[in-house]
Structure 1
Amino acid sequence: MAKVMTHMCMSLDGFVAGPDDDPGELFDWYWVGDVEVPSARPDMTFQVDADSAAVLRELTSGCGALVAGRRLFDITDGWGDEHPVGAPVVVVTHRPPPDDAAGPLPRTTFTGSVQEGIATAKEIAGDRDVTIASADIIQQALNLGLVDELCISQIPVLFGSGLRYFGELVGDHVMLDDPIVVPGVRALHLRYPVRR
């Protein structure tokens, strides 16, 4: 059964980017191994260790749609309408699509709310997973009870400040089942099913 999951790289102290939106060392693990994992972009091939390669292949091959926030979409210039995962992107925003986009964005859909974004992504993904890859959208989806599994690639670095993976939760604690743990080079990959 298709899941709504999250995946981001996170510092040991819980940040996905510094105060200036720079992910710093969080992506270093993508290029420190000897196993090639192609992305959907012809200009990008990951070089990871064998254990991280298995994690990366599973995350990318199972993704039928990606949900992102407008902030991340703008920072990345919409990935040129071709996210490295290869899945269509659903952008949650209250602003209209950018007028200055370089051509049409046939693989990008814009929605107005987290609920609408996840519903749209599920429709696009069919029987494949939906992955949320923006901290603010993850936080809102957790508060709404829309997340089935949290995936974290925890990186051995301390940021001290910046953009948190998890922010303020509303209501009760979010209980998680025991993790699946995969140690990699420069990343510890964690998957936590969300208890219902």
Structure 2
Amino acid sequence: MGKVLVHATVSLDGFLAGPDVSLDHPMGVGGMRLHEWVFHRPAHEADAAVISEVFADTGAVVLGRRTFDVAVDAWDDTPYPAPSFVLTHEARPDLPMRSATFAFVTGGVEEALTRARAAAGDRDITLMGADVSQQFLRAGHVDEIHVQIAPVLLGDGVRLFDGLAGTRIELEHTRVLESPHVTHVRYTVVK
């Protein structure tokens, strides 16, 4: 069985999106700056290794409805070539894409985890979005946190770890990779 991973790029002040997330600004105003490391060419060796690793290891994705709504047109596909499960309060039919299918889960974190595990098999489940990551952390389902820290202070936006007040989570630092564009940090959740 694979691991459940929070995988996100944040600013040094902890934002994974800028302010005013919308269809016009899926990463919020100024938020695309966070992902310059992904699109920089030629890619730095450390960045290329992380991108390759996450694509190879991801067997399923769980994301929130807001992330889906603002990003699906920009992606024009699933975010990874793997089945993607959208946590939502509103049922709708599956949405087949080129690489995989979006399935809409109304039964909460437990149902999303069960379905993602079945789809992922021995590969990892990658969580996308602040709210979904926080829900899985509060439920005790996260095995590792992979954070890319971009060298920028956004000053405002959506914080990755808001909403965890009163939730203490011990982490073991397991890896740091650096490039001129971002610092990749990996933690294992101590259970």
Q: TM-score, normalised by structure 1?
A: 0.85
User: In structure 2, how many angstroms separate the alpha carbons of the residues matched to 1:54 and 1:104?
Assistant: 29
Aligned to 1:44: none
RMSD over aligned Cα atoms: 1.9
Aligned to 2:103: 109
User: In structure 2, how many angstroms separate the alpha carbons of the residues matched to 1:50 and 1:68?
Assistant: 28
Aligned to 2:3: 3
Q: CA deviation at 1:65?
A: 0.4
User: In structure 1, how many angstroms separate the alpha carbons of the residues matched to 2:81 and 2:138?
Assistant: 28
User: In structure 2, how many angstroms separate the alpha carbons of the residues matched to 1:165 and 1:110?
Assistant: 22
The counterpart of 1:160, out of the listed 135, 150, 155, is: 155
Quick check: 1:136 aligned with 2:131? yes
Q: TM-score, normalised by structure 2?
A: 0.87
Given that 1:32 and 1:185 are in contact with CA atoms closer than 8 Å, whether structure 2 keeps it comes out as no
Given that 1:52 and 1:185 are in contact with CA atoms closer than 8 Å, whether structure 2 keeps it comes out as no
User: In structure 1, how many angstroms separate the alpha carbons of the residues matched to 2:151 and 2:96?
Assistant: 39
**Residue identity matched to 2:114:** A
User: In structure 2, how many angstroms separate the alpha carbons of the residues matched to 1:10 and 1:171?
Assistant: 22
Structure 1 gaps, min length 5: 35-47
Higher mean displacement: 163-172 or 62-71 = 163-172
Q: Percent of aligned pairs with the same residue?
A: 39
User: In structure 2, how many angstroms separate the alpha carbons of the residues matched to 1:118 and 1:124?
Assistant: 10
User: In structure 1, how many angstroms separate the alpha carbons of the residues matched to 2:71 and 2:173?
Assistant: 33
Q: Report the number of matched residues.
A: 179
Given that 1:49 and 1:184 are in contact with CA atoms closer than 8 Å, whether structure 2 keeps it comes out as yes
User: In structure 2, how many angstroms separate the alpha carbons of the residues matched to 1:77 and 1:172?
Assistant: 31
